[in-house]
Every structure is written in C-alpha cells, then in structure tokens.
A and B are shown apart, each in its own frame.
Chain A
Amino acid sequence: MRPIDIIEGKVSVLDRADVDTDQIIPKQFLKRVERTGFGEFLFYDWVRSGEIELEPNPILVAGRNFGCGSSREHAPWALEDFGFEAIVAPSFADIFYANCTKIGLLPVILDEEHCRAVAEAGEARIDVDDETVTCAAGVFEFAVEPDVKHRLLHGLDDIGLTLENTAAIDAFEASGAAGGGPTTTAL
C-alpha cells in the first residue's frame, strides 16, 4: 500500500443514498481471480444505461450509507482502479469502510451539509494528517482512527504489523483461551 498524505483535485459527485456494492461492481465481474482491472466495470449498469456519468477525479462525493451490502473488496478495488483516491460521504457501511482503509482508498465522513459544499466547490484538498477537507466553502474536519491514520500515512502492511505480535498470538493459543474451538481438519 502506498502512503497517503494529501489528496487534492477535482470532485466527482454521485448524489444517491444507500449505494450498494452490487451497483459499485456487479457480480458478473467478481469472477476474476486478480486484484486489478475492475475500474472499467465500475457502476457498470448505471453507466451503461446512461443513468450516471462519472469522471475519474481524485475525489468522489457520495450519499449516506455508501457501500452497503456485500463485503466484496472488489468494490473499493474498482473505485481505486477507476481513479478515485478518496470517497467523501455522510456515512459508510462498516465493512466497506474497513475494506477501503486496507487498500489505501481514503473514506472521509463529513455531515450532509459539508458533503454538499465539497460537491458544489468542485475541487478540494484532503489532508490526512490534519484530518481536514479544504474547499472554496471552508475547512471541514473529519475523524480517522489513530491506528488507521498511522497505517495510511506510512503505507504500512497490516499483516506485517500483526505478525510483529506473533509471540502474543502463540501465547494466546497455548493458553487454551476461549475454549479452543473445533478443528476443521478432523471432520
């Protein structure tokens, strides 16, 4: 994952609430076994039917509960592959939000009024370290969890960080904590 600090540029707008991951990347494109190349299928049905038109700007402003539904990480992959670096919305579905932070696509939560202001401004500058979005209408603060921010700013591999705790995981397993649970290899 590459480090992110400042995301700056034009804003695309998708003014719809509850956009689900089935719309972001329809299921017929989930059969690929690679991680790349999903961008051209982003919002496939809506784009193909002419319902929406989106420019691959660095910032996308969307409606509330963006990314609801399926856990498919193909959705953030497609958004990133298309060219978006940050998604600004009043709220995100939990799994989608987590998936974005894992790949370095920045989810930014601003209230509806500020989302509208960024959309209308057409251009914005997002500072991850300061946790601010700056546009013609003003400077808006957003929040990001400290450990997520640390990973994003430094482009750190989540797995590598956890593997530094291997001794603690070994000890947890050896302690028989949580009752152990069933094994799947002896069924």
Chain B
Amino acid sequence: MTVERAGRPRRGGGPPGEPRRVGYLYLLPAFLVYAAFLLYPLVRSVQLSFYRWDGLTLGTWVGLDNYLEVVQDQGLRAAFAHALVLMVFYALVPLVVGLGLASILNRAKVRGLGFFRTVVFLPQVVAMVVVAVAWRRIYAPDGTLNSLLSAVGLGSLTRGWLGDYTLALPAVGFIGTWFETGLVTVLLLAGMGRISGELYEAARLDGAGPVREFLTVTLPSVRGEIAVALTLTVIAALRTFDLVYVTTRGGPGNSTSVPSYEVYHRAFELGQVGSAAAIGVCLTVIIFVISFAITRVGDRETT
C-alpha cells in the first residue's frame, strides 16, 4: 500500500500492462446482472422508504416519516434492541469461548485436531431451517432439554422455552452461539497457528505463565482474526431471519422480533411496504458502518 502511495512505478502493486479498454467488455455481463438485481433494487429501496404504500394502491409521499418510525415506534425499537441482545449471543460469547478453546488447543498440540475442526465447523454448512427444526425439537415442552433437566432432578425448570416471554430471546440467541462458536474457534485457531514459536519462547524466558502468555503474545497476534470474527458474527446476528421465522415467528408477543423479520412481516404480511423498505435501508447502513468500523479498528491495531 505505502509503496503505491509514494508514487513509485506500479511494478509490484497494480495489474500488469498498459490501460486496456477491453477490460470493460469483460466486466460488462457481471456488471449488468449486478446492477439490475442488486444496485437498482437498493436505490428503489431508498425510494420506497419515502412512501407510505400497501403494495397495491397508489403510494403517498411521506418524507422521512418511515425513518422517524424506526426511531420512535415501540415495536421497531424493541426489534433493534433484540438484535443487540442477539449480538451478545452471536458475537461476544462465541468470541470469548473461541479464544479460550483455540488458545488451549494451540498450546497443546493435540492429535485429532483435523477431525475436531471438521466437526465444530459442521453447523456452518447446515441450512438454517434444518438447524431451526432441530432446536425447536430440543426446546419443545416435551423436548430434549426438558427431559434432560428432569433426568438430573431439575424438573422445576422445565418449560416451553420458545413460548416463554423472557426466555424465548435468549433461547434463540443460544442457537446463534451454537452456530457461530465453531466458526470463530476455527478462525482463531488458524490465526494462532501462524504465531511464531519464538514469541512464546521469549515470553517464557521472561517468566510468563499461561495467562500472561495469552495476554501479551496470543491476543495481540490474532487481532486481525478477532476483527474478522466479530464482523462475521455481528452481521449474522443482524441478519437473523430464517431462524426467527421458523422457530418463533417473532413471538410470543413480539419478544423475539428482529429487524430482518420486521422487514418481511411488514412488507409481505402487513402491507407496510414503505416502512419495511426503511428498516431494510437502516439495516444495510448499520451493517456497512459496523463492518467498516471493525475492520478499521482491526487494521489500525495490527499495524
């Protein structure tokens, strides 16, 4: 990067050769599809968000009302607050657990690591609907979790987990924890595997124990991986749709409604298309800001 900025000839940086117009031609088909089915809808989304429209009759221009609603409407504020709670379950918990697991595994070169990696990464490739079906079974009133609790004498704790007003959201969040922890662990393991052994030797010569070794060597070395992990998981939390749609449909009440679900619910079930578009635009902006912010912080701290 710095080399290019210093204005040296682009031997190492950019693509080789002189400017080529034919590049546009190679780009054209991809760009057409991309523009027609992603860029144009995004612009239309912004446009729709300024209207009150039921999807059938003529819409009316309402200016920023739909955005004001996002800030003021109780239900929508709750939905965004739920997304924040989900972020704890999707991003924070997996990060803490993943850091612990990965550093333990990295310290002791255990055998069977490849198998372990395959297993803990598996949730990532299973369709979310299938995941939701599995966890609905686990959380059901006559499901696995309650049988387990009864078996160990905690029968008083059994309940229909997804029908409980206070516990449904954490229950959905925990599915996210289950889903993301493997990914985060594998990601951090890869990062830790690249740390040179000499750094640990040096730390040990200084008399550092496992904890100080973790804080002074491991943690700073995987800042880039932490940034990537946080970006992935925070965005996944914000985009939770399939899981909520299949497990709770936002209920009971609106205790598990999230922004993504509200987009679908309002546009295609309530006929509040403008409002749905505004939520979608907000969601997009939030995702862009968060991923830029996390990447920036990660970059600055690694260099």
Bind each other: no
Point out residues on A near B: beta carbons under 8 Å. none
